[in-house]
Structures are given as structure tokens and as C-alpha cells.
Amino acid sequence: MSSLQVPSANPNAVISPNFCAPHPIQLSIKKKVYFFAGHEYEVEDDTNGRLLFKIKWMSGKLVIFDAAGNPIVTLGPKLSSNRCRWHVFRGESKENRDMIFSARFSSVFHIIPDSDVFLPSNTAERVCDFKLKTPFSSKTWDIYGPSSSLIAQMKSKISAGSIFLGKIHFMVTVNPNVDHVFIVALILIHFVNIMRRRGMY
């Protein structure tokens, strides 16, 4: 069995149980290259400053690497979608069999829409498996898992001016036994979707 396969015992281990800690984790997501000349991010453990992940924009997709440079997942927009849907694949794969989840804006009409997440097994998509909620005029994003339980929260440390300069900084609290790579991926997808709607990505 692959080390990245997800056991059914933990529904919050979306990408891998290897990324689920038994204690809360504080993450810092920072944009590495300013002025939108590039789209690279670094994710650190905020308690000790240890580099956990690097994210690079490559050929129209975001790839999350571990600290050693190994690809974990690839995040790519579905160009034919009018609701900003993204697909997430293992490693650098583009094959449907390697898709882990998809995410899309819940509405194209809201100023700050929410994001709905669907696992491959949820073919009907009547109800999403996970949800990222963005309260109006709030810099806090809440992520909910199965049974509508809060599993992570992002607090933005950016302003309109810092967005223009490309100085992006997110502080993220991830609950115990929640896949923190999944949380990072979802936050990045939501942020990029918002910037694309504003013509800034």
C-alpha cells in the first residue's frame, strides 16, 4: 500500500495520515517572491520556524513540495469550469486515478464566495465533503470537515496594499489529526481563485 493512501479511520487525512499531527499545529504561509513577478510560497512551523513545504507556480499549476524538494501534490485549475474548479493530484500527476479532491467556489455571484471540496467518491456532489467559509469583510477563513466540524482557521496578515506588492502572509491553526497539507492546498486554491477574479494572478 502506498504511504500516501488514506485510511478510512480518519476522514480528515485527505492527502495522507503522515500529515496529521496528534496536536494543534500553527503554520505560517508566506509569499517568497514579491511584486507578482513570481508565485512561490513557503510554509513554516510557526512555533520553531522550521521549513515544512515550498510551493511553486509551474506551467499554470501550483506544486507543493516537502522541505527536501519532493513533490507532494499538484493543484491545477480546470479551464473549462465557469465556477473556478481546481483538481488536486498526487505528486506531479495529471491522471484522474491520482486525483485526491477537487475544490470550487460555491457561487460565482458572491463578492467573497466560499469554497466547496469534493472527494472523488462523492460523484453526486449534492453535499460537499469539506468547506472553506469566508465571512464578509473578515480576514478569517474557517475550514469545516465532516459533520460541519471546524478543523482549521486562517487569519490573514495582509492588506490591499500588501496584496498589490505581493506581500502575502497567512497564519493558520490546524486542529489535531487534521491533514495540514490539505489545509494549505485549500487555502492556496481559494486565495488564487479570489486573485484571478480580480485580475491579479
SS3 sequence of the chain = CCCCCCCCCCCCCCCCHHHECCCCEEEEEEECCCCCCCCEEEEEECCCCEEEEEEEEECCEEEEEECCCCEEEEEEECCCCCCCCEEEEECCCCCHHHEEEEEEECCCCCCCCCEEEECCCCCCCCCCCEEEECCCCCCEEEEECHHHCEEEEEEECCCHHHHHHCCCEEEEEECCCCEHHHHHHHHHHHHHHHHHHCCCC
Q: What is the pLDDT of residues 119-163, one digit of tens each?
A: 999 999 999 999 999 876 568 999 999 888 999 999 986 655 555
Residue 42 pLDDT greater than 50, yes or no: yes
Alpha-carbon span 194 to 198, nearest angstrom: 7
User: Does the domain at residues 23-197 carry the CATH identifier 2.40.160.200?
Assistant: yes
Residue 3 pLDDT greater than 70, yes or no: no
pLDDT, position 4: 46
Domain chopping of the chain, boundaries: 23-197
pLDDT, position 1: 33
The model carries a pTM of 0.88
The mean per-residue pLDDT over the stretch 60-68 comes to 95
Among 104-108, 150-154, 160-164, 188-192, name the most confident range: 150-154
Least confident of 57-66, 87-96, 121-130, 151-160: 151-160
**pLDDT confidence band for 5 (50 / 70 / 90):** very low
Residue 91 pLDDT greater than 70, yes or no: yes
pLDDT, position 135: 76
Q: Which residue has the higher pLDDT, 119 or 7?
A: 119
pLDDT, position 139: 82
Alpha-carbon span 105 to 83, nearest angstrom: 6
pLDDT, position 84: 79
